């Protein structure tokens, strides 16, 4: 990333899952938690099948855009799992949006919090753009951003790599020069493509470096700009 970009930077947008924390060990921990829960409740094993289909259907529909995406994502699974929308929301809230939060701080990449603080000190705005609801995840990690949006928000209604989320953030934060915006994510095929579709700069997370000095090095670049 050129120093000139850091000199001009006015906004950093972050993906969440796999970008702010180490996702692989969290998923392993969640797998054991889910299996431990349902092995004592075998009559509810269909709920695990629903969670599988929920993720898979969303992945298959990358870039999908439509009104009321929040509801449609459950309709994609209804024929395969035969749960009501109310039941599906209860399952996803428990295992995807609530239970994992207690572990997030433990799996945060080193220096993430310091990088957020450094951006704030330098007057650089921060935003979160995730395909999944992220406000509670951010709270669990002790992080604050100027704007938090996800793909199923009514103002977005589009999954990555559609650029809707990024364009909305730029508009809301009054960023007119896209060259002053940087999007950081861990998946080039989704986050990177989303950034390119929106016309903003993209920085792919180095997952190996993220375990040690990826974010500390970014903090140093911001301090010295």
Note the pLDDT tens digit of each residue in 134-160. Answer: 999 999 999 999 999 999 999 999 999
Q: Are residues 132 and 175 in the same domain?
A: yes
Look at residues 103, 123, 145 and tell me which one is the last residue of a structural domain. Answer: 103
Instruction: Find the domain containing 162 and state its range.
Output: 3-24+108-223
CB 18 within 8 A of CB 27: no
Enter the DSSP assignment of 144: -
CB 167 within 8 A of CB 47: no
CATH of the domain at 205: 3.40.50.1000
pLDDT of residue 64: 94
pLDDT of residue 7: 85
- Which residue bears the tokens 């969440």? 16
pLDDT of residue 1: 53
**E-assigned strands of the chain?**
11-14, 125-130, 147-150, 181-185, 201-204
Look at residues 103, 119, 144 and tell me which one is the last residue of a structural domain. Answer: 103
Count of domains in the chain?
2
pLDDT of residue 5: 75
pLDDT of residue 225: 76
| Structure tokens that stand for 188 in this block | 């080039």
Q: Mark the ranges of the chain whose per-residue pLDDT is less than 50.
A: none
pLDDT of residue 125: 97
């Amino acid at each position: 990333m050129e120093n000139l970009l850091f000199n001009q930077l006015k906004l950093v947008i972050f993906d969440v899952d796999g970008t702010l924390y180490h996702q692989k060990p969290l998923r392993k921990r969640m797998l054991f938690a889910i299996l431990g829960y349902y092995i004592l409740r075998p009559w509810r094993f269909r709920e695990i099948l629903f969670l599988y289909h929920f993720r898979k259907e969303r992945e298959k529909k990358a870039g999908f855009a439509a009104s009321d995406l929040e509801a449609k994502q459950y309709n994609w699974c209804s024929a395969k799992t035969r749960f009501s929308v109310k039941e599906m929301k209860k399952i996803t809230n428990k295992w995807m949006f609530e239970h994992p939060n207690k572990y997030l701080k433990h799996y945060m990449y080193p220096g993430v919090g310091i990088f957020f603080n450094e951006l704030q000190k330098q007057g650089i705005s921060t935003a979160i753009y995730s395909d999944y609801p992220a406000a509670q995840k951010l709270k669990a990690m002790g992080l604050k951003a100027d704007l938090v949006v996800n793909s199923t928000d009514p103002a977005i209604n589009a999954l990555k790599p559609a650029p809707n989320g990024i364009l909305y953030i730029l508009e809301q934060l009054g960023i007119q020069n896209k060259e002053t915006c940087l999007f950081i994510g861990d998946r080039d095929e989704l986050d990177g493509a989303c950034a390119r579709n929106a016309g903003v700069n993209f920085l792919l997370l180095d997952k190996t470096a993220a375990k040690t000095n990826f974010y500390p090095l970014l903090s140093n670049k911001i301090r010295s700009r």
